[in-house]
Structure 1
Amino acid sequence: MLYAGIQGNYTLTSWSSTTFEVPSSFTPDRVLLNFGAVDYEATVFINAKDATFHRGGYFAFTVDVTSYLNANGSNELLIFVHDPTDSDPYVVPIGKQTLTPSHIFYTPCSGIWQSVWIESAPLNYITQLDIAAGANGQVNATVSSSGNSSAGILTEVIDRNANSTIATYQGLANTACIFSVGSISTWAPETPVLYDIFITLGDDRVSSYTGFRTISRGVVDGIERPLLNGKFVLPFGTLDQGFWPDGIYTPPSREAMVSDLQTLKNLGFNMIRKHIKVKTALYYQAYNKMGLLKTILPNPVQQAEFARQLDLLITQQRVFPSIFTWVLYNEGWGQLTTSYPEFDLTARIRQLDPTRLVDSTTGWYDHGAGDYSDNHHYANPPYDPARIGLQGEFVGIGQKVSIEHLWNVQEAIDTINQTYEIDQTITAWNYRGHRLLTELQEQIGLFACSGGVWTQTTDVEGEVNGLLTHDRRVLRPDIAQWQADISGLYGAAASRTNSSMPFG
């Protein structure tokens, strides 16, 4: 495992190097070098030979390094990284990173921020696995391979609780394999049941997992609703930035990631809106187990690169059953307004993944694309009779804390008063939270609001409106109060429906 480990400002370029030996236990066929993510452009050299180039700071990539390796002994791995962030004249997908942090824009992450590892593989190996499992028990799986497209595959579905095989299917690589599994338990936030999957292709065997669930939309008692397994389930969660005071994008441990999620689950949230970034596979794995659901305009070349990376996002993340909605644009960032690219991009998302909903524009420039009316009204209930009404960002109340819990950078501290609303005490903060959750409950009970996103999970640098402080040492919510208020939201949603839809 290798991380960049560079702590510097304005690090637009960097070099990382290490040496490694191929274990004697590896098969002699192929050796693969895997990167979880490198921000933003990576050129990889093995023993002074150019092995690959990759662009895109959030995406995994793999290179077959067999031909670059020394027959015996040590090998040198050298990586050159270019990460322009928001420096001129570059326009790249940066999320909330900036070279000049200020309030809602944060310290950038550069270089290797996810794991790097090697593995052995046979000549014909599995390169990608796409699985979609519906609430009706139907599995649609495509196994991509490095070689023979007509090679046979064996798929096994395992019940984790009973440790028994409940279904097998023989098919072909690079071809959709569709089969049914009987007597399954469906995945839902309150019952996040997962099944193990084993795929065998010749001498290659990989393991994965899935959850049987169907995500759709439909009219329930006259209102467009998001449906999970044919029923209206109110999604309510937090805006989750996923920044850490010690590692920026990289959390200190898996346990730290899980702790954030468990805190939200304990309070009663059933969803997270992952905000303008892509997390590690371990993070989404934790979602699955728990059941948690500045304007720089691109030129045509940059817009095409945005579309290419959108394809990578969908194809790499669609395997995780807990993801129920793809979010395309946030508050107009990078969204062209002289034309409406969100319509074509929404169609592309649906082509790549027809099993989920699409929130084409969360906030501001909404021209009618996608499944949601999500305009960040904050105070006023959203409504579009043709789409699902969603409070995609709701409130942003802050509370001042002592210096040991703050991001101790003066520029960040100077922007704290830009927070929408700041309370001096935890008691006042909880009072405001109760009043605002009551207002959201009324929007759900009286109008067509079908979900909400509380801003936000944690403080981030100069923003102090989190449920947790940036260091995760102070939890602001009165747990019993918040559990009751969030339960009231689900109760209001339940009171608006007396029917359900068949599985899509």
Structure 2
Amino acid sequence: MRRFIVFLLFFMFAIIETFAQWKAVGSRIKTEWSSQVDPSNVLSEYPRPIMERDKWKNLNGLWNYAIINKGESLPIKFEGEILVPFAIESSLSGVGKLITEQQELVYQRYFEIPSSWKGKSILLHFGAVDWKADVWVNNIKVGSHTGGFTPFSFNITSAILAKGKNCVVVKVWDPTDKSSQPRGKQVSKPEGIWYTPVTGIWQTVWIEPVSNAYIESLHITPDIDNHLLIVKTELEGSINADVIEVEVYDDENLILTEKSIYSQPVEIVMPQNVKLWSPDSPFLYKLKIRLKKGNEILDAVESYAAMRKYSVRRDSHGIVRLELNNKALFQFGTLDQGWWPDGLYTAPTDDAMLYDIKKTKDFGFNMIRKHIKVEPARWYTHCDRLGIIVWQDMPSGDSNPQWQNRKYFDGIEMKRSLSSEAIYRKEWKEIIDCLYSYPCISTWVPFNEAWGQFKTAEVADWTKQYDPTRLVNPASGGNHYTCGDILDLHNYPAPELYLYDAQRATVLGEYGGIGLVLKDHVWEPDRNWGYVQFNSSTEATDEYIKYAEKLYRLIEKGFSAAVYTQITDVEVEVNGLMTYDRKVIKLDEERIKRVNSRICNALEK
């Protein structure tokens, strides 16, 4: 009993010490989830549900950090601790410092390999690091990666110590708006629609054991017209295996099993009464995928798939409409920038991230435009499970200052350097690759409002060829060219159909921006703005309803989708349906849901 009490006291003191070493910094507003962040158990959910293994170890938590001049040697001593995976500029990092383009951020932590993983290869995964990451394990360079929005991993088996603790070091350089990499809304001097920089690790870091041969990635394609589900696996390691086996489950009931060899795609003929995915019925089939050699299972992952189809077709009135599962559906959603007052790019908890998606559904929307940011994998899984269609933007960027100041298109595409083009194309391909299998994504959006827009027709055509299963919105509100599937207009504050394309679907990619300041829920006490501003929730809701009714009338004139700005306030923008800290729903939810539901169902016959 005495030993138990001593152990309990030791455990309690260890927890108290851990909390004492870390606390959120800064005096700005925070979400209610900020207080739930446990530095010893940060974002503990498996980070990639579309391809899940049963054994893994989370490396989130307190790491050592140091800020060095660019090009300096790795530090021997560190300045303090930072809570991963929150960017160093954020409150939840426990640091709250800005990094310039002349500096680099270095992380360090120790980890142990579970004894049960003996004999396995070890993969080190990063959900996302902004922007250039170099990684060492036990002073051995294991790899580098550029791109602030996509996952990457390294096989670190050869660098792992046979016994004891291992040391991982990550060095990051992020020039924000002083270079040509995609960065979305980040700028070194935030103001207006431009926000605080995000530097370093901002998604989960984890390790997992695999065999010498393993499944590296999945490429899942539904074909509802031919009742097919196609599962393609990319394999890594010493490939000496016979079979890829895929089991399909309807809930817990095994309904189909198919196999292939030599990494050939597994083609599964689905039942005639197949269950289709939609916002009203977001059914997901569970998949179990195994890499086998004879009866030996070398690797096994769990995944899921949805039977759904995105397309366009001309209706009986001659208007080109967006379709889901071969039926016209008016896609109506919010602009969702995915920013948090306490975590910046990173939601404080998984429940916090899920909350925004749930509220979007509660407001009666059926779609989200993910605005010039890419979210963690779990965000897309939540959309898959809840039934939210997603338009995925490419994060904008380039060092040329003209793109930042151009709000309206002028018909002139900017000229990017060859290196800038190469960065864009590499990162856009990686984004499409890592998000391909998520059923919720209906539309790729390569450019926004002429920001860094170049070679639009070429980029749109490449995107369509690379992924013919989805629609391409070539330039949301930007310079317009007759390419892709969609003509996308922006108009603030009220909807206007000022251009129309008889050959493509015409959509309203942004409108609204109704501002309402709530004193104790703002990022700054002044500088707050919206496209129009009101003094009460009733006035703001009345304006929203007025715009919605006008939008409804424009549907029969030619609009096939619309995006309202926006789901939450972001920094000094106060045009959200919710405050930035998510503590107040600013507009009348029930009134909005009624009119939104009418709009979403406008094309039903």
Fold conserved between structures, TM > 0.5: yes
- Tell me, in whole angstroms, the C-alpha distance in 2 between the residues paired with 1:351 and 1:148: 30
Equivalences for 1:149-160 in 2 at 5 Å?
A: 151-160=242-251
SS at match of 1:391: strand
Hey, what does 1:172 align to over in structure 2?
261
Q: Which sits farther off after the overlay, 423-432 or 178-187?
A: 178-187
**3-state SS in 1 of match to 2:560:** strand
Out of 452, 471, 476, the residue aligned to residue 586 of structure 2 is: 476
Shift of 1:218: 0.9
Please tell me whether residue 60 in structure 1 is matched to residue 155 in structure 2: no
Alignment partner, residue 224 of structure 2: 135
Give distance in 1, aligned partners of 2:174 and 2:123.
25
Deviations along 1:310-357, whole A, 9 cap, x unmatched?
110101001100110011100011113xxxx22222222223211110
Per mean C-alpha deviation after superposition, the further-off stretch among 228-237 and 295-304 is: 295-304
CA distance in 1, matches of 2:547, 2:516: 15
Which of 80, 100, 111 is the aligned partner of 1:20?
Answer: 111
Instruction: Report how far residue 376 of structure 1 moved.
Output: 1.1
* Residue 175 of structure 1: how far off its partner (Å): 2.4
Find 1:273's aligned residue among 342, 353, 369.
369
CA shift for structure 1 position 77: 0.3
Per-residue deviation at 1:173?
Answer: 4.6
Contact 1:270 1:292 in 2 (8 A): yes
Which one-letter code corresponds to 2:537 in the other structure?
Answer: I
| Residue 563 (structure 2) pairs with residue 453 (structure 1) | yes
Q: What stretches of structure 1 of length at least 5 have no aligned partner? A: 499-504
Of structures 1 and 2, the larger Rg is shown by 2
Distance in 1 of aligned mates of 2:344 and 2:546: 33
Residues 7-16 or 249-258, more deviating: 7-16
User: Given the superposition, is the C-alpha separation of residues 212 and 375 from structure 1 closer, same or farther in structure 2, using an over 3 Å criterion?
Assistant: same
Paired amino acid for 2:247: E
Q: How many positions carry a matched residue from both structures?
A: 480
Q: Contact (CA 8 Å) 1:315, 1:352: kept in 2 or not?
A: no
User: Would the aligned equivalents of 2:105 and 2:171 in 1 still touch at CA under 8 Å?
Assistant: yes
* Farther-moved stretch of structure 1 (41-50 vs 148-157): 148-157
> Shift in Å at residue 172 of structure 1?
2.4
Contact 1:268 1:487 in 2 (8 A): yes
Q: Does 1:219 align with 2:314?
A: yes
1:300 CA drift (Å): 1.3
1:107 equivalent to 2:196? Answer yes
Cα separation, 1, equivalents of 2:510 and 2:118: 51
Structure-2 residue corresponding to 1:261: 357
Would you say 1:229 and 2:337 are equivalent positions? no
* Residue 296 of structure 2 is aligned to residue 201 of structure 1: no
Q: Which residue of 2 aligns with 1:324?
A: 442
Within 5 Å, which residues of 2 pair with 1:331-370? 331-336=449-454, 341-370=455-484
Q: Deviation above 4 Å: which 4+ runs of structure 1?
A: none
Q: Given residue 208 of structure 1, which amino acid in structure 2 is its aligned partner?
A: S
1:3-82 aligned within 5 A: 3-4=84-85, 5=93, 6-12=95-101, 13-82=104-173
Verify the 8 A CA contact 1:27 1:122 in the aligned structure 2: no
* C-alpha RMSD of matched pairs (Å): 1.5
Q: Which residue pairs with 2:211 in the alignment?
A: 122
Q: 1:240-277: CA deviations, max 9, x gaps?
A: 01000000000011111111111110111000000001
Give 1:476 deviation, angstroms. 1.6
What residue is the counterpart of 2:339 in the other structure?
243
Deviation at 1:457, TM superposition (A): 0.6
| Matched AA of 1:357 | L
Residues 177-211 of structure 1, C-alpha deviation per residue, up to 9 Å, x if partnerless?
A: 22211132100000000011111102100111111
1:406 lines up with 2:522 in the alignment: yes
Amino acid at match of 1:394: Y
Q: Any idea what SS the aligned residue of 2:423 has?
A: helix
TM-score by length of 2: 0.77
Residue by residue over 1:132-158, the C-alpha shift from the partner in whole angstroms, topping out at 9 and shown as x without a partner, is 123343111111111428741101111
Residue identity over aligned pairs, in percent, reads 35
Judge which range, 454-463 or 342-351, deviates more. 342-351
Q: Is the 8 A contact 1:366 1:375 kept in 2?
A: no
How do 1:372-451 residues align onto structure 2 when only pairs under 5 Å count? 372-378=486-492, 379-381=495-497, 382-402=499-519, 404-408=520-524, 413-414=526-527, 416-417=528-529, 419-445=530-556, 447-451=557-561
Q: Distance in 2 between matches of 1:15 and 1:173?
A: 41
Flag structure 2 segments of 5+ consecutive residues without an equivalent: 1-58, 61-83, 86-92, 293-297, 390-401, 405-413
TM-score, normalization: structure 1? 0.93
